[in-house]
Structure 1
Amino acid sequence: MPVCMVKGKKQLTTNEANLTRLVTKCRWVVPNTMISSIGDLVKITGGILNKYKRPLVCNPENEEVAKKMLDRSVLVNSLQTYVEENNLIRRRTVYLPINASGTVLENFPKLTEEMLRDITLGIYQLKQAPGYTREHLSESGNYELLLCKESETLLQVKIQSRHSKSTIHTLWIDYNAGSSVQKPVNGWYCTCKVGARMVGCCAHVASVLWYLGLERHMKSLKPSRLSGNTSISYAHTSTLSVNPSTSAGIEE
C-alpha cells in the first residue's frame, strides 16, 4: 500500500515517497467494496497467472526500469539536505527576471524524451508537463525566470499547484552544464507532497526539465489564454557539490 500522510505533516520523507512510488508504478483501480478482500484476490489471481500464463515481464526494458527503481529507492535526497541546511526555502535573495524562452541558460543540457523518461521512470509526469508549462507561459509565449546568486548550476523554481490557486510549490534542480554530459541532472527537490523522492520525480520537476531541456528548443507548445507565471531562480556564484552516489536521480 502507498504510505499515508501522517496528520500534521505536509510532505512524505524521501524513503516514504520512494516506497510509495514503487507501489503506484504498478497500480490498478480497486473498488472500495473490494479492499477488505483484495489480499486474497491478489493471491488467487497471481496463482492462476503463474500456473497457466507466461511471465508478465515480457519486455526486457520493463525489467531494466524495475531494477533502476529498486536501486534508487535506497538513495537519500542530498539536494533536499543542501536546501534545508542552507535555508534556501525561506532565505531571500536578489532576483533578476529573464525570459527562458529565449537564449538564456544556454548551458542547460538538452534532453531527449528517452533521457526524460529515465529521470521520471514513467510517462505520467511527462504527460502533465505540457499542461503545467502552457499554464505558466504568457500570451506572448514568454517563460519568466528569476536569476539568483547561489550556485552556477542550481535552479530554483516556483510553480502554482494545479489543484489549488493558493498553493505554490518551490523546487530546486541541480544540473551539469552542457549537452554532451553523460549525467545531465544531478538531483532535484520539490516542496510538494512527493517532491523528496528519488524514484522518479514529481510532475513539477518534470515540467521544468521538459521545458528547459526539450520543449523550448522545439517551440511546439502554444501558450494558454489563461496563463500565470513560473518563477525560476538561477544561481550563479558558487558551485554546489552533490554526491552522485547518494543524490543522483540518474545512474551514469
Structure 2
Amino acid sequence: RVKHFKWLDQTIQNTTIPQIRDYLQIACALVNAYRASAISSFSNYDQIATKLLAHLHEPNLLRTRLNNEVLRWSNDDASNLVGFPILTIDQIRLITVGIFQLKQARAYSEEHCSATDLNNQADFPLQICNTDGQLIRIRFQSRHSNAKLYYTYIQFSTEEILNSCCDYPIGDRQVGVCSHRAAAIWFLAY
C-alpha cells in the first residue's frame, strides 16, 4: 500500500536517506486515515486469542496416546463414518486458527479424493481405530515428495473435534493445525 505513493515506488537517492523515516510516517498516516484496513477482523477473533494463550505450551495428548499404545485400524470410507460432528465455518476457523490452512483444505481434499466434485458421494478413504470408534486416521500424500506419506489423526465426539495431530513435522502443535488436518476436518465436518 505504501508503494502506491509515487515517490516511494521508485529508487530513492542516498541523499534523502535521513528523511525517509519522516516520509514513510506521513505515507502510513495517510493510508491509515483514508484507506480500508489491510486486515479485516472476523467475528470470533477474541475466542482465537483466548485459545492461543490457553493451549500455547500444552503437549498434544493424542500424540502421546498414539506413541504409548499399539492401535489397530480398519479401512473405511467417510460415508460410513458415524457420529462425526457437523461444524460451522466459524467453528472450523477456530480450530484452524485463521484462514490460510482453511483455504488449502479444498485442494488437499480434492487430491485425497482424486476428484474435483466434492459432494456427499465423494470417496474419502480413511481408517477407523478398532478399539475406539471415535478415533480415525487419514493418509495424505505429500505435495512435495511422492515417497512421503503423512497420517492425520482425529479424535472426536458427536459434538466437537476433541483433538487431532499429524505426522507432518509441525502437525502436533496445539495452536492451529497443518493443512492435512484442516483438509480432513473441513471435508468431514463441513
Normalization by structure 2: what TM-score?
A: 0.70
Higher helix share: 2
Whole-angstrom distance in 1 between the partners of 2:97 and 2:138: 22
Amino acid at match of 1:161: S
The answer as to 2:94 corresponding to 1:118 is: yes
Whole-angstrom distance in 2 between the partners of 1:82 and 1:163: 28
Whole-angstrom distance in 1 between the partners of 2:107 and 2:39: 32
Where does residue 134 of structure 2 map in the other structure? 153
- Size of the alignment, in residue pairs? 156
- Candidates 67, 72, 75, aligned match of 2:55: 72
- Candidates 139, 164, 170, aligned match of 1:188: 164
Worse-superposed segment, 75-84 or 135-144: 135-144
Which structure has the bigger radius of gyration? Answer: 2
Where does residue 144 of structure 1 map in the other structure? 125
Unaligned runs of 5+ in 1: 1-43, 215-252
Alpha-carbon contact 1:154-1:175 (below 8 Å) kept = yes
Where does residue 162 of structure 1 map in the other structure? 143
Once superposed, what is the RMSD of the aligned Cα atoms?
A: 3.0
SS state of the match for residue 90, structure 2?
helix
Alpha-carbon contact 2:47-2:94 (below 8 Å) kept = no
Worse-superposed segment, 149-158 or 112-121: 149-158
Alpha-carbon contact 1:160-1:167 (below 8 Å) kept = yes
Amino acid at match of 2:82: E
SS state of the match for residue 154, structure 2?
strand
SS state of the match for residue 175, structure 2?
coil
Amino acid at match of 1:109: P
1:146 shift after superposition: 3.1
Where does residue 84 of structure 1 map in the other structure? 67
Unaligned runs of 5+ in 2: 1-20, 116-120
The correspondence of residues 224-235 of structure 1 with structure 2, limited to 5 A, is none
1:57 shift after superposition: 9.4
1:141 shift after superposition: 3.3
Question: How has the CA–CA distance of structure 1 residues 213 and 193 changed in structure 2, closer, same or farther, with 3 Å as cutoff?
Answer: same
**Greater relative contact order (Cα < 8 A, sep 6+):** 1
SS state of the match for residue 52, structure 2?
helix
Whole-angstrom distance in 1 between the partners of 2:93 and 2:56: 17
Q: Percent identity?
A: 30
